[in-house]
Structures are given as C-alpha cells and as structure tokens.
Amino acid sequence: MEKTVILLGSIFVLLLFFSGCNEKNVPAGDDFSFTTLDGQTKYLHEYSGKVILLDCMAVNCYWCDQQMPGLDTVSQHYGKNVTILSIDVWTTGQNAETAELLKNHLNELRASGNLSLDWTFGLDDSKGTIQSTYAPEGIPMLYIFDIKGNIYYSHMGYEDYSSLASKLDEVLSKG
C-alpha cells in the first residue's frame, strides 16, 4: 500500500512538472480574433498553413519585455517561415491596456533596445478571450502552431532564443 501511494505521488509530481508543455499534434483549440494596431480584425485561422508563434504578452509585464529581443531574433532569422503574433492580453478591467499604450511601448522598446519588432502585434478582445483560452495562468505564454494548426509546443514564462529556435527548427523540419 505504501509503495502504491509513493508511486502515485511520484506520478502526480511528474505530471505537475511537465504540464506546462503541450507536445506534438495537440489540437489547437478555439479560433480567436484580435485587433491589429492599425485597427484590423484578424483571426487565427487566417494564418493556417504557416508555422505560427503566438506570444501572449502585455505592456506592463517585465518578462514579456525580456522576451522581445528573442522574438526579434526569431523574426530576423526565420523571416517568412514563422509568423509571429504578439497579442496583448491585458485588455480587460480597470487597467486595461490599449492600442495607443502598446504602440507607445513598442516605440520605446525599438528606441532603447535596437529592436525592429517588425511582426504583427494586436490586442485581445474586451472579454479577454485569448487570455482565458491561451494564457489563463500567466504571461508571457508562448505557443508554436504547426502548419496544420495544431499546438506543437507551449511554454509559460520567459524562453531563451536557443530553446525557442530548437522547437521552431523541429516543427519546420516536419513540414
């Protein structure tokens, strides 16, 4: 009996440890819409057939800012092979972030960090649909979708460029 309890406890701990990663061929979940900084409404399904790196982030998030140089390197290195979508998910509540706030913040990051930040940025809807679906436990939250729209990988928290590039190389090699 004691060995069974220890075994089950060990399995539980391992499940908790690995629960932050969704591995290959996990269904992508619900489609979502977001508003680009120029006011266009876009949908996740519009990017089907491409490898997508979804970055759930916010202006007032220290680790999200730390993630930007790595994403900038992804953008420069992978070009059109990887579509990056950085979506500000703190768009609800009293301190809701706005497009103007995000634009100003991106301009500050460009000026202070020699970053191009030349990919698509947008805002979650006023209900926080993307946050509740893709980042309910915190940000930054990164997802890599394969060309079929399946979640290939996910990671909560800061992810260094080399780890992210390794996962991108894997998904791109699978076609």
Domains of the chain: total = 1
Decide which of 15 and 121 is more confident: 121
Cβ within 8 Å of residue 5, ≥6 positions away: none
CATH number at 57 reads 3.40.30.10
Residue 10 inside a domain? The answer is no
Residue 102 inside a domain? The answer is yes
Residue 6 inside a domain? The answer is no
Residue 3 inside a domain? The answer is no
Residue 1 inside a domain? The answer is no
Residue 9 inside a domain? The answer is no
Residue 168 inside a domain? The answer is yes
Q: What rounded mean pLDDT belongs to the chain?
A: 86
Q: What is the average pLDDT across 19-41?
A: 67
Q: Which of 38, 47, 51, 62 is nearest to 170 (CA)?
A: 51
β-strand pairing of 120-123 with 82-88: parallel
Q: What is the average pLDDT across 27-52?
A: 88
pLDDT at 27 over 90: no
| 3-class state of residue 11 by DSSP | helix
pTM beyond 0.85: no
Q: Calculate what percentage of the chain has a pLDDT beyond 90.
A: 75
Residue 7 inside a domain? The answer is no
The domain of 57 spans 22-173
Decide which of 124 and 126 is more confident: 124
> What pLDDT digit, counting tens, does each position of 63-103 carry?
999 999 999 999 999 999 999 999 999 999 889 999 999 99
